[in-house]
Amino acid sequence: MVVKSLPKIPTIDFSEGNLNPGTSSWFSVCNDVRRALEEYGCFVALYDKISQQLRTSMFSELKELFDLPTEIKMKNVSDKPYFGYIGNHPSIPPLHESMGIENATTLEGGESFTNIIWPKGGNNHFCETVVSYSRLVSELEKMVKRMVFQSYGVEKYYDSHLGSTTFLLKLIKYRVPEMNESSIGCAPHTDKSFITVLHQNEVNGLEIETRDGDWIQFEPSPSSFLVLAGDAFLAWTNGRIHSAAHRVVMTGTKPRYSIGLFSYHNGTIEIPDELVDEQHPQQFKSFDHYGLLHHYHAAPKIESTAKDYCGV
């Protein structure tokens, strides 16, 4: 019998202090990042900027937040689909519960969420913790983005792209399934973000689909972050980068907590002319990023939201 060995999600070390633009180690990591995103649509980043103390605080804040009564959590609303409180949602598995903090790298974003959940006197510790966490993780997102822009020779667009980037921090809890309940915590999907950076507690369950259709597990250490390309990144690279389907399957007896930092773009994303040539005919037109999200919401599809919304 031939046993097929599954590939592993590539791991890239961002914890070395010498990752300065222009150095030879920077260029080599740029290529690793681009290759991983083209082949797998994701990679595991080893990133040591989140201290053990901040990590512990984040997950204990998450637990406290989800332990609040549902009517309080439901005050987390947004005009953008999937950005507010999700719980007992008819089209989302019942194990899943999530809340979204918009503009989470800004103090205003953190305060606005905090004041809605804790209107009497706020909750400074929560606010400071999520904003510090979001800022540090957004540095990883920006570095990855800069590396990819550079690797494709279009770094000149980086600053303006960065200027229009916003960050959504999504806090997620998956409860343990009851007897006879499905173990699916999150159905297979691709993200609509530009980039998503995921970080979780010690309970595994996230699986990524390879281009060959195999499902591989994300088995992190405390300093691992999963960097995933979303459909917007796929379209911006004119189809070069893969946006991988992923899902969450709950096994075991402990709830899983996960934190996702999702980058979005205010306004239109232009496809760089440099990424369209004879070998790479134009596949996508420039598009409105939140329009892509609304399009998905109106007609959820795993495969083809980007093609459907802004394919040529």
User: Which two tokens mark 310?
Assistant: 């802004």
Q: Please, which residue, 131 or 245, has the CB nearer to Fe ion?
A: 245
Give the largest Cα separation in the chain, rounded.
65
Which residue carries 């989302």 as its tokens?
Answer: 92
Region binding ligand AKG by CB under 6 A among candidate stretches 8-16, 64-72, 73-81, 198-206: 198-206
Residue closest to Fe ion when measured from CB atoms: 191
Kindly identify the residues of this chain, within the stretch 180-199, that bind Fe ion according to CB under 5 A: 191
Q: Please, which residue, 100 or 150, has the CB nearer to Fe ion?
A: 100
Binder of residue 172, out of ligand AKG, Fe ion, none (CB less than 5 to 8 A by kind): ligand AKG
Residue closest to ligand AKG when measured from CB atoms: 258
Q: How many CB atoms lie within 10 A of CB 308?
A: 13
Q: Residue 309 Cβ, how far from ligand AKG at the closest point, in Å? A: 18
Among 191, 263, 293, 309, binds ligand AKG (CB under 6 A): 191
Q: Pick the closest to residue 96 from 170, 31, 9 (CA basis).
A: 170
Q: Please, which residue, 33 or 206, has the CB nearer to ligand AKG?
A: 206
Among 93, 100, 220, 260, binds ligand AKG (CB under 6 A): 260
Tell me if 246 contacts ligand AKG by CB under 6 A: yes
CB 271, CB 285: distance < 8 Å: yes
Distances (CA, A) of 237 to 85, 136, 149, 207, 312: 32, 26, 9, 24, 14
3-class DSSP state for residue 54? helix
Alpha carbons 301 and 75: distance in angstroms, whole number: 28
Give residues in contact with Fe ion (CB under 5 A).
191
